[in-house]
Structure 1
Amino acid sequence: MTELDERKLDPAAALALLDEMAPREPHRLFALKQGDCFAVTDAYGDIRGAGDGFFRDDTRVLSEFRLTVGGRQMSLLGASLSQDNVLFTSNLTNLPIQSAAGRDIPQGAIHIERVRLIWQDRLFERITLSNYSREHSTITISLHFAADFRDMFEVRGSTRPKRGTVHVAKTDKASVLLGYDGLDGLPRLSAISFSLAPDRLSDNRADFLIAVTKRSSRVLYVEVGPGAEETPSRDRFRAAAARARFGMRAKRRHGATVWSSGRVFNDWVERARADVALLTTELPTGPYPYAGIPWFSTAFGRDGVISGLQMLWLNPGLARGVLAFLAEHQATETLPFSDSQPGKIMHETRKGEMTALRELPFGRYYGGVDTTPLYIHLACAYADRTGDMAFIDKLWPSLKAAAEWTEEASRETGFVTYQRAAESGLANQGWKDSFDSVFHADGRMPKGPIALVEVQGYVFAAYRGLAALARRRGEFADAEHWENRAEEMRVAVERDFWMDDLNFYALAIDGDGEPCKVRTSNVGHLLYVGLPQPERVKMVADQLLSASFHSGWGLRTLADDEVFFNPMSYHNGSIWPHDTAICGVGLARYGERDGVVRLMSGTFESAVHFNMRLPELFCGFIRAPGEAPIAYPVACLPQAWSAGSAFMLMQACLGLEVDGWEGELRVTRPRLPIGIDMLTIRHLTVGDKSVDLTFQRVGDRVVAFLADRYEGLVPLIVRT
């Protein structure tokens, strides 16, 4: 029985309820972000208090923000984000309504444009009403608002036995102040201000009677911030928009840019680059890509490292910012509640009320088993890309502490394992951290501590990279030690994880030493770091690129014949673009170029169906002619490592490596994405030089060459 069935409503009320019950699909929501504030709304520009809202420092400071005209929701014409992700615009028109004087106004007579941005903890909105009818009209415009001041974890579903105090709203002539005192002692405020004084103003609604003459427009400006400042106005809106666009332009200037012969492909690349810039927050330690909106708009260790790796060839400054932040927040003590141990790298940080009160451990949480070796791997990759040994020297104490934690974590079994230290922590602590993502082939949950296959690969890469850096520092004993540890790990993984009966590597080894004989995409991460012996790679690659994993849109996280396979699950059969990209780099590493081009093509075509923006994940249904990929209901959008996947796959196709030590560009068996005949990377830094590198399709080959004005400055080595 529906809500309409249970109520006895008059026709007008029924229409209003139907308006409120319009479908809300997450992949059709729109996000804005600046600093530690972000907003998620529907295409109408409305906030309705589900997972959407205006958030500041992990608190929802606006849980409802709906615009109605003549008492009704409007008809949607279209909605979009500007190319730089600064402005959201919704174009609307009226449904049949009555004017304030009771005259009928037909549908489509009034055009409503909502333009919104965020700048310096404030939401700015411009609402323009244009009358295209032949009659003068006075129209009732209503803004419905509320602020529930819920912590992000409450919005995600956590319950609390007690909350702070919500204050009675304070109204002024043209503003209303909503307030809440948290149990952590911090006041949280939302001041909603209007450029026009409302005709009626209550604690949850502002009504404006706006006279719009025929063929004319009227404009209302609204601001929402932590306090009332000056009266909203055209000048304030334009100044905020100009500053926000300038700030975003400055972020997008960092690093090299990509241009190709494909117009739609360029649109995808530009959107991906804009999404990385949108999610990147300037912290005192440098730029850091926040994970994703809405659930993870904060610094995550694993996500930041992988985003840094994805963008490293184009923008090494992002990796440097990630490394500096994580080194500063490295654990120095053992605390079971936060899963911290000396040397361990942070998994997640939060600023909300619940973490401040230690209701949850995520204020600064270290329950990620892979983040520490990945941090070391990123530092080594950054050094190889830039030759920046001065920065590595500053990081060296942190890197050695991380290596010591890694060795200690593997002392008992030879593998780096995890088992949460407190019940409030994460049960699974790899990148697939849902409760059911690690299991045995018969569906049993494994006993801890658990050794994940990809984590051992990250450890192998970390030891190998540290050994190379130690040699450059003249620390030969340490170099030999880490070389030995890397080889020991390689041998152990090949011995204990390989499944002869399946010609694949096991997902994990449990606390009883029993392998989880499940085929998952985690194994592609082993290829990424170059651990497997070549004769086994062909068997793994064939399976990863088969229909069991490859849906046509990307690689599923789980083979389709496993017991928990579900294409609609979070980790057991869905498609994660960053996972597909990492596997793609692994395949390219072993020479599987055709498969990488196919993955690049499927990923690009998925992005086209998702309006050029890859979500955090989507469903793993098999691709069918004429059908689009299926969205996952609550995926983050945008997501940093999904946006970065475009560039990681692109580098794998091009076979491009920047050697910062030798100041060389190396290209191995380059391929271009399907449908692209020419691709240029502009302002690619190699040491202290900047070059333009072009890839051109010539017959059945792809050639690479530097722009004429740069010839002779940087060696370009091409292997075909």
Structure 2
Amino acid sequence: MAAEVVTKFVSVARTVEQVAEQPFYIPMTGPSARPRRSLKHDDTFIVLDSHGDIGASAGGPDGLFHHDTRYLARLELVLDDLQPLLLGSNLRDDNSALTVDLTNPDIYRQGGLALQKDLLHIVRTIFLWRGTAYQRIGVQNHGDRPAGFELTLLFDNDFADLFEVRGERRPRRGTGASRLLGPTDVLFEYRGLDDAERTTGLHFDPRPTRLSVNAATWQLELEPHQSKSLFVAASCNRPVAEKPTRFFRGLLAHRREMRHSTMGAASIETSNNIFNEVLCQAMADLNMLMTETPQGRYPYAGIPWYSTTFGRDGLITALQMLWVDPRVAKGVLRRLAHFQAKAIDPLADAAPGKILHEMRGGEMAALREVPFSQYYGSVDSTALFVLLAGSYFERTGDAATLIELWPAIEAGLAWIDGPGDPDQDGFVEYQRATEKGLANQGWKDSYDAIFHADGRLAEGNIALAEVQGYVYAAKQLAARCALRLGKPDRVRKLEAEAKALAARFEQAFWCEELGTYALALDGDKRPCKVRTSNAGQILFSGMIREDRARLVAADLMQPHFFSGWGIRTVAQGEVRYNPMSYHDGSIWPHDNALIALGLARYGLKHSVAHVFKGLFDAATYMDLRRLPELFCGFRREKRRGPTLYPVACAPQAWASATPFTLLEAALGIEFDVARGEIRLRNPHLPAFLNEVIVRDLRLGESSVDLRVSRHGEDVALEVLRTRGQIQVSIVLAR
């Protein structure tokens, strides 16, 4: 009898802590197999990989998107069923088009080499214009004999809502279909649960050899050095009978529109060629993110997740760009005033006078599966709206727009003093109205971003430190607007309220043991005694005492905050500090930019230069010299670049505006419309800039070209040209 073998399995008990899923979390489950590139035009954007494909490699939010819906989920080019080899992939400097250079791999047929690699040069040129993605595929045979092969485009679609692409799961979806419209056209159709019909039309030119609802194939025979062009256009919601514009005509019109849209903004050139590249990329990205709306141009927040109207992002971006192009602020203010809340809606977190946080146009928003159709869950957008309106008027003297906006400004101030302060303690606070909304409603809106020193999350009505600063600055600026409008009683009331707020804030938020201000007050009025960059943004508002401002600034320059690349959102050593987190130790360029404006306000120009250089150095390591939404907060090491954050938006509007804000802080630019004067207050250029030339800097109907040159610690100002009546001066004082 054979011996019986008994195998014992020992069960080891483990305590597994299940991580609670957070609403609207953006998952990251693996790396991208290929780098991604983005293009945008108005309410349409496209995310492709480095080969120019959509959906051909894992790990990216690929697709052609229009109004928060994916209109094309796959568009992949193959040669004889093989992927071509990548030679290079480049965006045009103005972001108008993506160009991809490919070549053929070795192609075998029936056991023999039919086409040797590197004989075909394939150039894909892709651009977006008016709801259509255009593509030209140019193929040239560089061999010394004829080349026969099949070129195929594989395509498909799912009409996924952007929130589905981000990871949200839905129990039910609408119904879709696809059909041929003839020898050159395919139509994808989808009727959503919101009863809206969405269509994607694909048009091919010339006529493919074979066309199905998922593939277009051309049988090509090219003589030596012969070339051929193929065209495809993917249109969102285009009427079936309407053909897209021809490729080259559309491309020229698109570039002409882009050039026209940038006219009127100041241009900047410096002695540092790399910084010039940073500025050019930033301006190109901002121009791409701008969207024509019925109320004016609006900077959409970022690609891919935030390509829509965001209140806070638009307001801060406009504020950052105010000195370069105040027209951005006008478009932002008029659009947000148009959508200002008029009634109470708990699901939308709306109350009269409140300024929009986010709006979405997809199926899930229409069905309120997500609350963002028009969502107002932002505690700071309203104060920022008033702040920007006042700043815009001071920058431009545009009384007509001020008069137009004044009812919205007053409604915003009423929200600040009313629903925005639910317990009437004099601080603006938030607590989400429903469980579907955002748990945290400041710019640090991660679920774990607001916490106490022991790591406990803050609960109840939360008053954020920087928001009180925004309110202070908003009331000061609104008072100056009221003075212009001849409302002396309103002036006195607003000034008194701002002064009282500053006094309350010092008493409630100052933490003597930390030497800085608390992150927030929780619902029980207990301060969150944590060192964070929020305290730095209070400098920007000008609300705090000078002696304490200098303590805050000195702390921000210490290694526990300043990584060498920039200021971290949370200081190293705090219990929730994590340099790889979204808001608890990472570095956000726009956060640093606002802090730099605050440092400049208090005359701390050497600290401004320190922050400026860190972010400039970081940009030199970034793809395309483009500052992303955020990057990791690891300490800077020699001969190594900064560590990227995996799902950061790039481009992102307020990150793109950051180089201009840093330059504003360094130069100390001020505008005095009444006197027709531009002043540079305590200008100080960082060591990597010897010279800055600003052209067509406008004040009212006049403009100036000027040069600022660095001579050691000093600067010299030269006026190169003036148009109209304008003065420029340097002020060396606080």
Shorter-chain TM range is over 0.9
Does the 8 Å CA contact 1:100/1:209 hold for their aligned counterparts?
no
Q: Structure 1 residues 244, 450: CA separation in 2 closer, same or farther (over 3 Å shift)?
A: same
Greater shift after overlay, 126-135 or 426-435?
Answer: 126-135
Deviations, residues 155-176 of structure 1 (Å, cap 9, x unaligned): 1111111110011433531221
Deviation at 1:578, TM superposition (A): 0.5
Deviation at 1:551, TM superposition (A): 1.3
Does the 8 Å CA contact 2:703/2:724 hold for their aligned counterparts?
no
What is aligned with 1:200?
210
Does the 8 Å CA contact 1:256/1:314 hold for their aligned counterparts?
yes
In 1, Cα distance between equivalents of 2:488 and 2:722: 42
Deviations, residues 445-487 of structure 1 (Å, cap 9, x unaligned): 1111100000011011111111122122221111111111111
In 2, Cα distance between equivalents of 1:475 and 1:39: 49
Deviation at 1:709, TM superposition (A): 5.0
What is aligned with 2:447?
435
Greater shift after overlay, 647-656 or 599-608?
Answer: 599-608
What is aligned with 1:184?
194
The 3-state SS of whatever aligns with 1:468 is helix
What is aligned with 2:532?
520
Greater shift after overlay, 56-65 or 710-719?
Answer: 710-719
What is aligned with 1:3?
none
Deviation at 1:676, TM superposition (A): 2.0
Q: Structure 1 residues 230, 164: CA separation in 2 closer, same or farther (over 3 Å shift)?
A: closer
Match of 1:120 among 102, 127, 130: 130
Taking the TM superposition and a 5 Å limit, the aligned residue runs for 1:243-642 are: 243-408=253-418, 409-410=420-421, 412-610=424-622, 611-642=624-655
What is aligned with 1:38?
45
Does the 8 Å CA contact 1:99/1:138 hold for their aligned counterparts?
no
Tell me, yes or no, if structure 1 residue 706 matches structure 2 residue 724.
no
Match of 1:678 among 668, 691, 694: 691
Deviation at 1:700, TM superposition (A): 3.8
The 3-state SS of whatever aligns with 1:442 is coil
What is aligned with 2:704?
691
Percentage of identical aligned residues: 44
Match of 2:115 among 105, 108, 131: 105
In 1, Cα distance between equivalents of 2:559 and 2:84: 45
> Which amino acid in 2 is paired with 1:650?
L
What is aligned with 1:16?
none
What is aligned with 1:655?
668
Deviations, residues 299-328 of structure 1 (Å, cap 9, x unaligned): 100000001001000111110110001111
Give the paired residue count.
697
Match of 1:74 among 69, 75, 84: 84
Tell me, yes or no, if structure 1 residue 144 matches structure 2 residue 154.
yes
What is aligned with 2:9?
none
RMSD: 1.9
Greater shift after overlay, 49-58 or 222-231?
Answer: 222-231
For normalisation by structure 1, the TM-score amounts to 0.94
Q: Structure 1 residues 696, 221: CA separation in 2 closer, same or farther (over 3 Å shift)?
A: same
The 3-state SS of whatever aligns with 1:606 is helix
Deviation at 1:135, TM superposition (A): 2.4
In 1, Cα distance between equivalents of 2:204 and 2:725: 60
Tell me, yes or no, if structure 1 residue 154 matches structure 2 residue 164.
yes
Deviations, residues 132-189 of structure 1 (Å, cap 9, x unaligned): 2222111121211111101111111111111100114335312211111111111111
Deviation at 1:716, TM superposition (A): 2.6
The 3-state SS of whatever aligns with 1:490 is helix
Does the 8 Å CA contact 2:383/2:471 hold for their aligned counterparts?
yes
The 3-state SS of whatever aligns with 1:338 is coil
What is aligned with 1:5?
none
The 3-state SS of whatever aligns with 1:516 is coil
Greater shift after overlay, 698-707 or 639-648?
Answer: 698-707
In 2, Cα distance between equivalents of 1:208 and 1:588: 61
Deviation at 1:444, TM superposition (A): 0.8
Q: Structure 1 residues 700, 482: CA separation in 2 closer, same or farther (over 3 Å shift)?
A: closer
What is aligned with 2:106?
96
Which runs of no fewer than 5 residues in structure 1 stay unpaired? 1-20
What is aligned with 1:666?
679
In 1, Cα distance between equivalents of 2:430 and 2:243: 54
Deviation at 1:699, TM superposition (A): 4.4
> Which amino acid in 2 is paired with 1:555?
I
In 1, Cα distance between equivalents of 2:409 and 2:198: 39
Deviation at 1:70, TM superposition (A): 2.4
> Which amino acid in 1 is paired with 2:409?
L
In 1, Cα distance between equivalents of 2:377 and 2:33: 31
Deviations, residues 195-219 of structure 1 (Å, cap 9, x unaligned): 1222332222222221122222221
Does the 8 Å CA contact 2:180/2:212 hold for their aligned counterparts?
no
> Which amino acid in 2 is paired with 1:41?
L
Deviations, residues 195-249 of structure 1 (Å, cap 9, x unaligned): 12223322222222211222222211111013456777xx811110011101111
Does the 8 Å CA contact 2:684/2:713 hold for their aligned counterparts?
no
Which runs of no fewer than 5 residues in structure 2 stay unpaired? 1-28
Does the 8 Å CA contact 1:171/1:203 hold for their aligned counterparts?
no
> Which amino acid in 2 is paired with 1:635?
A
What is aligned with 2:8?
none
For normalisation by structure 2, the TM-score amounts to 0.92
Tell me, yes or no, if structure 1 residue 48 matches structure 2 residue 55.
yes
Deviation at 1:125, TM superposition (A): 0.2
In 1, Cα distance between equivalents of 2:523 and 2:31: 46
